[in-house]
Structure 1
Amino acid sequence: MPGQSLNDEPSRKIQDSHRADDGGFPQPSYQVLPPTRYSTNSLNAILSTKTREGAWIVPANLSATSVMGTIKLDFCESVFESLDLTIDLNGFLGDVKIWVPEGTLVIDETRAFASEVKLKKLSPPRPGGLRITLRGDLILGTVIVYGSDHISWRRRRKRRN
């Protein structure tokens, strides 16, 4: 027959060479999937409040946009994909409040116009610890990063009573 190899031995050898040798080890019973996008990669609060707290998975890059709203991010019990976290902040008349665990290094690279960025009661950074870089643009907004040593006025009031 025209177009058909008379000897299919070479094609079988090529197919066999492309098969992976498992080395005698059992193959896993699960399927390995590529990384997925988390629903928490982007937070948008427009005339509203968004809160992330408790044990949640924090991606290496997080985007937070607050327009006349509030975003609250509590990283104290979070699980981090990477120890180098970048938060891209965009705010107009909005607030962003961030609580960080002990030993976190916070780097402020934001551009602010008539805005305020406060780092309150941060503990000394640990070598090889979590590093959070704040980037983005703020217009008439506020960003407050609370360290593990920060005590809110409500907790102070409870201690007095």
Structure 2
Amino acid sequence: MKYLIRVLLSLVLLLSLLPIDFTHATPSTVQQDTYISDSLSLPPTIVSPGSLQSNAQSSSTFYANGYRSGDELLFDWRYNRPGAKITRVEVTATIQYKKNAFDQNWTNIKTISFEYPGGQGSFAENQVEYHPTKEGTYRVKLTGLFRTTTGGESAGCVSNTVNYF
């Protein structure tokens, strides 16, 4: 039994002396995670023209897809509400950053607002462009209010992550 304890203590001591640096992870060792933010995973809320506070649910979708094109990160987003005529789009896009996969929190680095009349169709789409200055993992968090001829709807989503190494 004493021998087993000595071996285990020796292994713990050996491992504690090894220099392990997780700050220089390469893209092959960083696992890409795609998930919806905890506060934005609820379905969109339909709002009436007068109150903007109804809790009825709709069949709309709001999503974003991020990717890298050269030294630029692009996040395409699209909101779709079948049967509706969108009259106004108000979207806030927050670009978020993590140095590496071991970081627990996202850091907000830039916010971009989109406000314009809707095209009277059942969807709205646009693109967020960003030129990163440092290596890391990026995503975009979107919140929006989409007004229609019959009311409006607030919605939110988070894009997939994009690595910039």
TM-score > 0.5 by shorter chain: no
For normalisation by structure 2, the TM-score amounts to: 0.25
For normalisation by structure 1, the TM-score amounts to: 0.26
Higher relative contact order (CA 8 A, sep 6+): 2
Q: Of Structure 1 and Structure 2, which has the larger fraction of its residues in strand?
A: 2
